Amino acid sequence: APDLAYDFASVLQGGAHHLKSIFCGADDRKLFEQLRAELDGSGFWRSRNLDKYEWTIAPEGGQRSTGRINGEDAVKLAELPAHRFVLERLLQLFDARPLSWWINLYPTGRDAKNFHKDNFGQNITIGASFGATRNLTFRHGSSGDEFHFMQENGDVFAFREKVNNAFLHGMHPLKGGEVDPGPRISVILMGRAR
């Protein structure tokens, strides 16, 4: 399939990035526990109402469903030091200007993320994974072929506009006989790489 070969080449030529252990080693759960404590204890979080796994600090009933780094959200973010640390590090890694962010909380390995494309005016999507190891899957838009990238605790994955246009991304639930690895948090950032 010529389209698949061309689109896969865009992944290999800098369109996607998988960085291992950027925040911590796979067995170090300290940052995961800090993120989880901020999620459970701050009272700032609400569902984005689009997906039961997506959580945001954006004001209820507002014009947007995603968080910002500045403005009124900066006040909340100041009280979420683990989240602020992750976001600032992601922006620094990819020299990006932030547009919006949220988290995905998957309570178990049976939880899945529907396949989709991002559409926030971004030219880069960046995600940091904490907690359980899961596969991030890319599905080619025209051929349906899938590629899996194992995301461990502390890993970062990013992809650029060309990859977002050619592939859907999501996460399959574990199969019935597979052992549940437990909860996972993804900090998701939409940005404009400079």
Total domains present in the chain: 1
165-190 CB burial, b ≥16 within 10 A, e <16: ebbbbebeebeeeeeeeebbbbbbbb
137-155 CB burial, b ≥16 within 10 A, e <16: bbebbeeeeeeebebbbbb
Q: What CATH number is associated with residue 130? A: 2.60.120.590
Beta bridge partners of 139: 146, 168
Domain residues for the domain of 103 are 2-193
pLDDT per 10-residue tile (average), the chain, 194 residues = 61 82 98 97 86 87 85 92 98 96 94 92 96 96 92 97 94 92 96 92
Q: How far is it, in rounded angstroms, from Cα 114 to Cα 3? A: 23
What is the per-residue pLDDT for 10?
A: 61
What is the per-residue pLDDT for 194?
A: 86
What is the per-residue pLDDT for 136?
A: 96
Which positions ≥6 away from 160 have C-beta within 8 Å? Answer: 14, 15, 16, 123, 124, 193
What is the per-residue pLDDT for 52?
A: 83
